[in-house]
Structure 1
Amino acid sequence: MSILRILPKLFVGIFAVFLGLAGAVTAHEIRPAYLQIDEMAANRFKVVWRTPMLSGMRLPVALRLPDSVRNLTTPTERDLPDSLVETRVIETADGSLAGERVEFVGLQATITDVLVRVHMLDGAVTTTMIHPSQPWVDVASRPGRLDVAKTFIMHGIDHILFGYDHLLFVLALMFIARSWRALLLTVTAFTAAHSITLTLATLGFVHVPGPPVEAAIAFSILLLACEIIRIQKGQTSLTAQRPWMVAFAFGLLHGLGFAGALSELALPAGDIPLALLFFNVGVEIGQLMFIAAVIGLIALVRLARYPAWLGRHAFTTATYAIGAMSAFWFVERVAAF
C-alpha cells in the first residue's frame, strides 16, 4: 500500500495536535538566554548574562549567584535590538566556583532555555543547556568529555521537535512520496540541503535576516500544499516527478531557519565548529524520530479498518488545513517585519 493512501487517515489526529500547539507558540519564537562565566584570576570571574527581549519586554528571569559571591564591579547593562546584556566582575570567598549553584529565578514560569558556558583559567570549558523544569546549574570542577556533545545534540532535538513549521513541511513531503524509495530520496535531499545552509550560515559565509527567512519557510509549506492538491487532481508537475529536487531546494531555505538557533546563542568563535556538528546531529535525530513516529502510526493504521470515503475526504481536508496554517504563519510573519 502506498504512503499517499495511508497518511491521510493518520494525519487527521496528528494535525489536531499541530493546530493546538501552533495557537500557543509559533516556531522559533522564544530565543534562549545565555550566561557566560570566565575565570580572570584565582578568585575573580567575569559574568555576562544575556536575556532575550519579547515584544519589547525583558524576559522575566533573574540571575541568582551563590551567597559566597560578591560583586567587585556594579552590574552594567547594554541594550541590544533583541536582548539585554548585563556584565559584572565577581569575587568568590574560597577562590573557586566549583560545586556552587547558580539559579535562574522565574525560569520555571517560561518556555525558554538558558545556555551556560563556564571557562576556567586552566582552559577547561563547560557548556550546559538549562531547561525550565530544572532552573539551576551546579558548576562542575571538570567538564565531562561528552558535555558539549550532549548539550548541543539535545538543543538540536528540541529545536526540530518544537519547530512545528519544519515538521509540517516534512509531513507534507511524506504526503507527496508515493513509495518508500521516494520517501527515502526526498527526506535525504531535504537533510543534505538544510545541512549545507546551516553550516554556511553558522560559520558566517551566508547571512540572511531571520524574519524574512521564517516568512519564506511558511510560504514554502503553502506552495507544497498547493502541489499536493495538483497531484491529487492528476496534474503533472516537477514536484510529482522529482520530489527530491523540490525537497532539496526548499531544504536550503529551511537550513537558514535552523541556523538562527545557534546564532541566537552568541557563542564564542572557538565553540562554533563543535556546536554546529552536534546541533546538526541533534536536528537529524529529531527529524528521524518524527518520521519514525509517523511510520509507527502508519503500521497501527494498517491494523484498523476505515471506510474508503474517510481516506479520500481526510486527504483533501488535511491538505487544505496545511495550506491554511502555513498561509496564516506567512501573513503573521510578514506583518511582524
Structure 2
Amino acid sequence: MIRSLIRSLGVALLALLPWFNASAHEMSIAELNLREVLPGEFLWNWGQGGIGRQPQDELTPRWPDGCRTEGDKLVCVGGLSGVVAIDGVGDSYSAAMLRVLWLDGTPQVYTITASQQSARLYGSAKDSRGGGEIASAYTILGVEHILGGIDHLLFVVCLLFLVGFRRKLIWTISAFTAAHSLTLIASALGWLTLRGPPVEAVIAASIVLMAVEALKREDTLARRAPAIVAFGFGLVHGLGFAGALKEIGLPQDHLLLALLTFNVGVEIGQLLTVAVVFVATRAVSRLPMIAARVPVPALYAIGSIAAFWTWQRLAAVLVG
C-alpha cells in the first residue's frame, strides 16, 4: 500500500513540477514609471514584465480627474494630484509598483495590489499618506507575500513535521521568526547586501535538508535543538523576504512603519499556515491508519519539489 502510494505520488510530482516552478517565485510585479519633465507634465512607460510578458497588454492605469494622456505623455492640469488605480492587478500580476520621479529629483514608490487597488498622490514629492494607510497596505503585502511564497511555507511545514504540535514548537517558530526579522530589517535598510539568486538557491536547499531531518528517526541536532536550526535557516529566509520587499519599494517618509508592518504581515501569514496544518492534523488524527502513513510520502514530496528548485536555482546562479 505504501509503495503504491509513493509511486503514485512520484508520478503526480512529475506532472506538477512546472506548476510548482512557477509558484515558487515570490511575486509577479509590474512597474509603471512616471517622470515629471515640466510642472504637471510626465513621461510614462511600463517596465519589463518578465520574459514574454508586456504589462500594457494586461493592465490599465486610471489617472486622476484633470489628467489626460498624449501618447507616452501624461498631462495633469494643476499637478498630479488624486487617486491613481491600475485595473487588472490581482489577475496576472500580484502587485504593481508606481514609481514617480518628481521634477525636483525626488523619487517615490507606491504599491498597488488586489486588496489595495489605488494610491493617492498629492501633486508633489511630499508623501501625505497617513500612517494607518501605510500600515494597512504593507501588512496586507506581507500576508500576500508569505502565502504566495510556497518555498517559505514548505519550510514551515517541514518544521511542523519535525517538531510536532508540542511546547517546543513555540520556541522553534519564534527562533525562525526572530532570525528572518533580523535579516529582513538589515537587508531592507541596506546594512546587508547579497545577490538574490544564491539566496533563493539556499532557501530551496534548506527545505530539502529540513525534509531529510524530519524523515530521520535518530536523535539528530535538528531534533534535539530545532530552534537553533530554525534560527540559522531563518537568517537566509529573511534575505528572501527582503528581496521581495525591495522590489515592492518602501516609502521614505514612513520607512520604519512600512518595514515593521510588512514583517507583521509575514508573521500573520505564517501563523495562518500553522493554524491550517493544525486543523488538518487534528482531522486526520481521527483516522489513525491514514495519519500514520501521511508524513513519509508528504516529506518525500516536499523534498523532491525543493530539490528540483535547488538545481534549477543553482543553474540560474551559474548562468548568471
Same-fold status (TM-score > 0.5):
yes
Distance 1:21 1:175, change over 3 A: farther
Once the two structures are superposed, residues 150-202 of structure 1 have per-residue CA deviations (whole angstroms, 9 ceiling, x without a partner) of: 11111100000011010000000001114521111100000000000000110
CA distance in 2, matches of 1:256, 1:126: 21
Cα distance change, pair 126–322 in 1 and its aligned pair in 2 (3 A): closer
1:336 partner SS: helix
Specify the alignment match of 1:4 in structure 2: none
How does 1:227-306 map onto structure 2 within 5 Å?
227-231=213-217, 235-267=218-250, 269-302=252-285, 304-306=286-288
Residue correspondences, number? 295
User: What are the within-5 Å matches in structure 2 for residues 30-179 of structure 1?
Assistant: 30-35=27-32, 44=40, 46=42, 51-55=47-51, 57-59=53-55, 60-61=57-58, 64=61, 66=63, 68-70=66-68, 75=72, 90-93=74-77, 95-99=78-82, 102-104=85-87, 107=89, 110-116=92-98, 127-131=110-114, 137=118, 139=120, 143-179=129-165
For the residues of structure 1 that align with 2:215 and 2:109, how far apart are their CA atoms? 50
Change (3 A) 1:183 1:194: same
Q: Name the structure 1 match of 2:186.
A: 200
CA distances 1:244-291 after superposition (whole Å, capped 9, x unpaired): 100000000000000011111344544432221111011011111111
Which residue is equivalent to 1:78? none
Mapped to 1, the partners of 2:228 and 2:274 lie a distance apart of 19
Q: Would the aligned equivalents of 1:36 and 1:118 in 2 still touch at CA under 8 Å?
A: yes
SS at 2:47 equivalent: strand
Query: Equivalents in 2 of 1:254, 1:241: separation in Å?
Result: 22
Q: TM-score, normalised by structure 1?
A: 0.74
Shift in Å, 1:62: 5.3
Distance 2:134 2:109 in 1: 7
Q: Determine if contact 2:35/2:102 at 8 Å carries over to the other structure.
A: yes
Do the aligned partners of 1:197 and 1:252 also contact (CA within 8 Å) in 2?
yes
**Structure 2 portions without partners, runs of 5+:** 1-8, 123-127
Work out whether residues 284 and 291 of structure 2, in 8 Å CA contact, stay in contact via their aligned partners in 1: no
1:64, distance to aligned residue in structure 2 (A): 3.9
Give the SS at the match of 2:192: coil
Moved more, 205-214 or 137-146: 137-146
Please, which runs of 5 or more residues in structure 1 have no aligned partner? 1-11, 76-87
SS in 2 for 1:317: helix
CA–CA separation in structure 1 for the residues paired with 2:188 and 2:44: 22
**Structure in which a larger fraction of residues adopt helix:** 2
CA distance in 2, matches of 1:126, 1:297: 40
One-letter amino acid of the structure 1 residue matched with residue 24 of structure 2: A
Instruction: For 1:175-186, list aligned pairs within 5 A.
Output: 175-186=161-172
Shift of 1:319: 1.6
1:316 is the counterpart of 2:296: yes
Over the residues paired in the alignment, what is the CA RMSD in angstroms?
A: 3.6
Separation in structure 2 between the aligned mates of residue 138 and residue 198 of structure 1, nearest angstrom? 25
Deviation by residue 1:185-235 (Cα, 9 ceiling, x = unmatched): 10000000000000011011111111111111000010111112222xxx2
With over 3 angstroms needed to count, the CA separation of the structure-2 counterparts of 1:241 and 1:210, relative to structure 1, is same
- Provide TM-score, normalisation by structure 2: 0.77
Percent identical across equivalent pairs?
37
From 299, 311, 314, the counterpart of 1:334: 314
Q: What amino acid sits opposite 2:187 in the alignment?
A: A
Which string of whole-angstrom CA distances, capped at 9 and with x for unpartnered residues, describes residues 88-128 of structure 1? 6x4323x2555555444x6565133113477999x9x9945
CA gap of 1:175–1:47, structure 2 versus 1, over 3 A, is farther
d(CA) in 1 for partners of 2:172, 2:159: 7
Residue 28 of structure 1 pairs with residue 25 of structure 2: yes
Q: Is the 8 A contact 2:33 2:100 kept in 1?
A: yes
Separation in 2 of the partners of 1:221 and 1:143? 39
